[in-house]
Amino acid sequence: MRYFLLIILSTFFCAYPLFADEASEKEKEIAAEEPPRTKYFSINPGVMIESVTVDISGRGRNATMTQEGPGKITWMLDLKSADYQITKYFGINLLLHNSNFYLDRQFVTKLPSVDSPSSTSSSGSSSGSGSSNSNPTQSNRVKDDLDTSMEGTYSMLVPIFYVGNPDTFRLGFGLGPATVRMRGNVDFQDPGTGIALALSNRGNRSEFLNNVSAIQFASGNINPSDDPTLSYLLANLGSGNNLELLGYYFASQGLLRPDLTAATAFSTGRYSAVESLALSSLFRNQVNINSNARFAFMFYIETPQFAGIRGRLSFGGPIVKENGYTYEMRTFHIAVYMPIEF
Question: Which phi and psi (to 5°) does residue 318 adopt?
Answer: -90, 165
Closest CA to 36 of 171, 169, 172, 166: 166
d(CA 221, CA 84): 46
Angle at 4 between CA 3 and CA 9, to 5 degrees: 95
pTM of the predicted structure, to 2 decimals: 0.71
**pLDDT given for residue 173 in this prediction:** 96
Label residue 42 left, alpha or beta by phi (over 0 means left) and psi (-120 to 50 means alpha).
beta
The answer to whether 288 touches 227, Cβ cutoff 8 Å, is yes
Blockwise average pLDDT, block size 10, the chain, 342 residues = 49 47 49 57 95 90 88 93 91 95 86 46 42 48 84 94 92 95 83 54 74 77 74 85 90 78 80 87 81 90 94 95 88 95 88
**pLDDT given for residue 116 in this prediction:** 44
Closest CA to 105 of 219, 183, 187: 187
**pLDDT given for residue 199 in this prediction:** 52
Strands (E), the chain: 41-58, 61-66, 72-81, 84-87, 90-103, 105-109, 141-144, 150-163, 170-186, 285-302, 310-322, 325-337, 340-341
**Class of residue 63 by CB neighbours under 10 A (exposed 0-12, middle 13-18, buried 19+):** buried
**pLDDT given for residue 8 in this prediction:** 47
The answer to whether 188 touches 59, Cβ cutoff 8 Å, is no
Closest CA to 328 of 58, 73, 17, 70: 58
Which DSSP category does 82 fall into?
P
How much of the chain is in helix, strand and coil states, percent to nearest 5? Answer: 30, 40, 30
